[in-house]
Structure 1
């Protein structure tokens, strides 16, 4: 009995499944038929379509409706406002001041200081003094300073001259006196009892100026001395003071010194002493 009940349940299940399948198949078959029915309608609709008939000449043409154009709004033109021209103001002409005139210097004879009178040129050629007494020669200037001090203590007036002897180097010759002849120079050697000295002819020197008094030559004398030269004074027959520096045997020696003097800003002249 139980066996029959189980067979009935299986049949019932199969029946239900079969019904569901039948419903599903019916649904899809309906969709397919619907699609088939709509397709010939769309195909046959094309031949029935008619071309639009041309409008006859008498019939009024149907115009497409045009949207009304937007009206152009013209903005009001701003009137050009002319600015009033600036009035030209004429500046007053400033009169040019006359250039200050330089006052002309007037000669005042009472207040002007008299210029120092220069000594008159010698009327005749001064007496020559070409000879000197050479006391010593040194190749170092420190020994020159020692010699100057020693001979000054003996009451003499020594002076020196620097010479370039080429390969032998630079030497300083220490002199004293100025004499018109060799005989006069030798007499001075005997008078002062000088030993180891030599009388030589030193005819060339540099003339730094001719003065009427020692006050006039004092400045140039000090300048020569401070710049390493050795100035000395010879008084001529007309009482003119002739300021010299150097005493040389050759003309080349005095010319070399003259170049040094010019380089130091001292005006001088090469002369025969």
Structure 2
């Protein structure tokens, strides 16, 4: 298994992707996780013979050195207690071999019955991922953008500014993980992915990324130097202009990001689901 292009590795990855397609886990993009968001074989736990495939996403950057771990395929969408315990042991071993500081484990469906096992292994609650929805986009008139600013498509002319805003805006945000620059460039070219950036005097001050036609808002990011200017509200107004008001808009935010949650509530978003995310440092 690998994310390289050699024919043998590609066949192995295709087989893994096929397994995950046959045994999907909700809210997981198995092809992208397997091919783009890890460093290769050491990061992929291929336990198809036991009914599960998991990945340590060690090609993304988080705020505290921890990386996400995702179960991307599971027969029946579930694991036994024994399998869950063994998988946690294997994750510890992979943390050591990959030299990562820690992991974050979202309690998705396969993990739900086994939270206590994870906690007994030293996992603690880090935050909740809050899925929010807006069914009424009539939150008031659009705020005027600064006179020297304008919204532009990020791809292809403003990708570097886009990446700079991602890093400065997410530098201290728990639960925010930034892919490599190459992956960002590739991702922005995908069908259905749209990215807008607010440019002021040649510099990015905020960005919006969303997925059509689902009206899902993937990213609302204000540049780190632009606190207190109301940039977040300008981004939400742009989301409404781009997505319209014909279908509900959805997004996910961590519950520790209270400023963002307050912004979204002012825009008539409400919480639909809270997903616990546990974390664990690499064993000493």
TM-score of the aligned structures, taking structure 2 as reference length:
0.21
More strand by share: 2
Structure with greater contact order relative to length (CA < 8 Å, sep ≥ 6)? 2
**CA radius of gyration, larger in:** 1
